[in-house]
Amino acid sequence: MSPPEPFTVITKVPIPDSLPPARVIAALQTYEALITPNPYLLRYERRPVKVEEVVNDPFFLEDGKKLQAFVVSERVPIIPGVGSWATKDIAIPCVFQSFEGALRCGAAMR
């Protein structure tokens, strides 16, 4: 069996002109704002950040702050439209990090 193909979910929400950019970034840096719009989300749980996950990973830079880790559980359709019997539950451990003006998330499906 071949490894699963990468899967990307893109959520686009128009941001009203009346909202200052700093307020939008602050809302995104709560992290849950990026997790909860996922249409396949079952649940998510906060977990401790393991040092080995980030210490040698060039993705997580020294300019970052506020590391938080989660396990995001999803029910993904394998055959869309045929019901719950054609789904697969997956758990994705992920680590978020804020930095000036944005954030990053590293995740590995298991």
Domain annotation covers residue 68: yes
pTM for the model stands at: 0.73
Q: Is residue 11 part of a domain?
A: no
Q: What is the pLDDT of residues 18-69, one digit of tens each?
A: 989 888 888 878 888 889 988 899 999 999 998 888 887 787 877 778 889 9
d(CA 37, CA 32): 9
Q: Which residue has the tokens 């941001």?
A: 15
Range of the domain at 51: 40-107
Q: Give how many domains the chain has, as a whole number.
A: 1
Quote the CA–CA distance of 27 and 48 in Å, as a whole number.
22
For residue 102, CA distances in Å to 63, 66, 68, 88 come to 11, 12, 15, 32
Q: Answer whether residue 80 is part of any domain.
A: yes
Q: How far is CA 17 from CA 4, 10, 29, in A?
A: 40, 21, 19
pLDDT in tens, 75-93: 988 888 888 889 999 999 9
Residue 20 in domain: no
